[in-house]
């Protein structure tokens, strides 16, 4: 299970073989979680966690991720994954291989654009809407074909950026009226729709970061993204094809099914942006974890989304080693 510690009003301690969470707000309350059942921990905000708990997680090799209240990634603690020096050396060598880097960037962008199209197709079909005559839809097809001509990572980024603009224009049509999505905004998100999307991206980034670290790669060693300002660049690279089919679909579903409400589950902060409330984060955490354990059809049969992410990282290692073709996941 994924244990989420989501409120700054809680204290977390160890009692024998259980993690005990005490909420000091309101009437208080206890939650006892057997350590043996915990596979990963996510901490949002600034709860009080004893060193005993952190030491136990480290000893057991249970990854613990830390997010800000607004969902930005702070860092991760785990008990392993750093003992693959040869793998990291190969990763660094490949980062300086221009031909490999451009090919990798092309294939990442191609998979992302293809998954943007597939995700839009599914959403439109659910609402009995046709996109065939839309300018942005035709643009996505043309840009996908144009990637083969890109000779540099900057050129790939330019095509990917143009595709993202067209994609978000189409995607914005499917948000509910009480949570409109005019355009993508971040740091800070300027409306509830963007705040929810950013939070979903942060959770997806966390999943890729955990898988990358578990397999001994340097999460800062990206190819399309650059590891500046403590950015987990490789996680941002590998999650690109998964954004539309996971994070964006989750955002739209939570808002349209009214599990997340624009007037109830968000708050404005000092920088003028929007953040999810603690209750809102709790709903998203649960929905996201439900999605991660959902089984999906892949080349390897029916596996969970979390297993699919792990296998994508393993395939990427095969690409670094020259044992796998450079190609990334595309939704069926």
Confidence bin at 108 (pLDDT 50/70/90): very high
Query: Looking at residue 272, what is its pLDDT?
Result: 76
Confidence bin at 331 (pLDDT 50/70/90): confident
Instruction: Tell me the per-residue pLDDT of 43-82, one tens digit each, with 9 for 90 and over.
Output: 887 889 999 999 999 888 888 888 877 777 788 887 666 6
98, pLDDT greater than 90: yes
What pTM does this model have?
0.88
Residue 220 lies in a domain: yes
Q: Residue 123: which CATH number?
A: 1.20.120.920
Residue 70 lies in a domain: no
Mean pLDDT rounded to a whole number for the chain: 89
Q: Could you tell me if 110 and 206 lie in one domain?
A: yes
Residue 326 lies in a domain: no
131, pLDDT greater than 80: yes
Confidence bin at 27 (pLDDT 50/70/90): low
**Dihedral sign (CA 128, 178, 139, 204):** negative
Contact indicator for 259, 287 with CB cutoff of 8 Å: yes
Instruction: Tell me the per-residue pLDDT of 172-217, one tens digit each, with 9 for 90 and over.
Output: 999 999 999 988 887 788 899 999 999 999 999 999 998 999 898 9
Q: Which residue has the higher pLDDT, 224 or 26?
A: 224
Contact indicator for 311, 303 with CB cutoff of 8 Å: yes
Confidence bin at 101 (pLDDT 50/70/90): very high
297, pLDDT greater than 70: no
Residue 73 lies in a domain: no
Q: Could you tell me if 89 and 32 lie in one domain?
A: no
Total tally of structural domains belonging to the chain = 2
For residue 10, give the 3-state DSSP assignment. Answer: strand
Q: Could you tell me if 165 and 222 lie in one domain?
A: yes
Confidence bin at 250 (pLDDT 50/70/90): very high
The whole domain housing 27 covers 2-62
What ranges in the chain are assigned the alpha helix state H? 51-60, 85-95, 98-126, 135-146, 153-171, 192-214, 233-239, 249-256, 278-292, 305-320
Instruction: Tell me the per-residue pLDDT of 269-290, one tens digit each, with 9 for 90 and over.
Output: 877 789 999 899 999 999 999 9
């Amino acid at each position: 299970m994924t244990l989420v510690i989501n409120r700054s009003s809680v204290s977390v301690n160890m009692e024998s073989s259980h993690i005990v969470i005490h909420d000091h707000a309101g009437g208080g309350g206890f939650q006892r979680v057997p350590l043996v059942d915990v596979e990963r921990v996510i901490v949002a905000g600034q709860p009080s966690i004893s060193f005993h708990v952190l030491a136990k997680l480290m000893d057991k090799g249970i990854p613990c991720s830390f997010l800000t209240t607004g969902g930005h990634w702070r860092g991760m603690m785990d008990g392993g994954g750093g003992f693959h020096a040869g793998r990291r050396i190969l990763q660094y060598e490949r980062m300086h291989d221009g031909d490999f880097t451009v090919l990798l960037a092309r294939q990442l962008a191609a998979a992302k654009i293809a998954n943007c199209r597939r995700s839009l197709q599914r959403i439109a079909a659910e609402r009995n809407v046709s996109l065939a005559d839309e300018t942005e839809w035709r643009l996505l097809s043309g840009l996908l074909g144009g990637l083969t001509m890109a000779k540099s990572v900057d050129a790939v980024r330019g095509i990917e950026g143009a595709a993202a603009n067209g994609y978000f224009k189409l995607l914005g049509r499917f948000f509910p009226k009480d949570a409109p999505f005019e355009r993508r905004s971040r740091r800070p998100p300027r409306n509830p729709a963007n705040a929810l999307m950013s939070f979903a991206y942060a959770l997806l980034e966390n999943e890729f970061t955990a898988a990358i670290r578990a397999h001994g790669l340097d999460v800062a060693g990206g190819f399309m993204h650059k590891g500046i300002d403590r950015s987990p660049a490789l996680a941002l690279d590998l999650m690109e094809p998964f954004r539309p089919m996971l994070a964006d679909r989750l955002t739209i579903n939570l808002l349209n099914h009214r599990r997340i409400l624009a007037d109830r589950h968000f708050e404005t902060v000092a920088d003028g942006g929007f953040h999810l409330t603690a209750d809102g984060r709790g709903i998203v955490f649960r929905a996201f974890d439900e999605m991660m354990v959902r089984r999906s059809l892949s080349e390897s049969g029916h596996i969970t989304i979390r297993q699919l992410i792990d296998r994508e990282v393993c395939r990427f290692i095969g690409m670094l080693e020259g044992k796998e073709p450079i190609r990334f996941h595309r939704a069926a």
